[in-house]
Amino acid sequence: MQTLSEIRSLLEASGLAPRKRLGQNFLHDQNHVRRLIAAANLSPGDRVLEVGPGTGTLTEALLDAGAEVVACELDEGLADLVADRLGDRITLVRGDCLGRHRRLADAVVEALGDSPWTLVANLPYQAASPLMIELLLHHPNCQGQHVTIQREVADRLVAAPGTRERGPLGIIASVFGRIERIGDVPPSCFWPQPKVTSAMISIEPLTVSSPVDRDRFATFVTTLFSSRRKQLGRIFGRDRTWPDGIDPTWRPEVLTNEQLLALFDEC
């Protein structure tokens, strides 16, 4: 795995520097790289999607674990660097991982093919939330997500009902996935150091007991939480039949996943 000095040397030799606009902070702590790969529990031959390979630190570790890597890189200079270093050992997709309507880009879908695959990545902060939700809603071949994200986003993912962090991101993720927090990653593990702490999380897909239109449910939850300070009776109207155990004086953030699904079924 690459050390910090090797990362800096690779960038300098290619005439590159971290681009703040793209949220480029390079993880150089090798223990955390190993921790993320261990959480993914990969077997030789497993297909892995990596978004934002940077200089290829995690990419090389994934290859050492026997993974078949599809790497998607938006930065042309970094894409050239990775291509020069790793050549045909990986499948490289140049461009944004998300296309129109924040759906997984066609080129990435094509590169992954029809086989099961896993996301393992140090995600650019701006892509993290929409990408994770996109994979849960629309990509059953994704067998799991093991990612480094901003700690604030991780807090929202695991937020319990009744807490301030509770919102659409955590609800959608926890209805359709099992979330495990692997641990925090301090700014000193990155170069340049970000102003925020990061966290590593795993999301394993769940099969919901009864069929749910995932897009409609996501829209329902997002719309509901746009009025999160209002009582449910004001949002839906008090003259209606409420699912068992739900009080119309409650606000959306106190509802459990099961209550949200019951309310969704009756809307």
Domain ranges of the chain: 4-205, 214-265
Which amino acid is residue 98, in one-letter code? L
Closest listed residue to residue 169, CA positions, set 151, 189, 154 = 154
Q: Residue 179: in which H helix or E strand, if any?
A: strand 177-185
Q: For position 125, what pLDDT does the model report?
A: 86
- Starting at the edge strand found earlier in the chain, the sheet holding 91-94 runs 91-94, 68-73, 47-51, 117-122, 142-150, 198-205, 177-185
CATH of 214-265, one of 1.10.101, 1.10.8, 3.30.1420, 1.20.120: 1.10.8
Q: For position 97, what pLDDT does the model report?
A: 97
Regarding pTM above 0.85, the answer is: yes
Q: Which residue has the higher pLDDT, 262 or 238?
A: 262
CB of 52 within 8 A of CB of 119?
no
Q: Which residue has the higher pLDDT, 21 or 96?
A: 96
> What superfamily would CATH give domain 4-205?
Vaccinia Virus protein VP39 (3.40.50.150)
Burial class (CB in 10 A: 0-12, 13-18, 19+), 137: middle
Domains 4-205 and 214-265 share a fold: no
What is the pLDDT confidence band of residue 42, given thresholds at 50, 70 and 90?
very high
Residue 72: pLDDT over 80:
yes
Residue 38: pLDDT over 80:
yes
Interaxial angle between packed helices 257-265 and 214-225, expressed in degrees from 0 to 180 and rounded to the nearest 10: 110
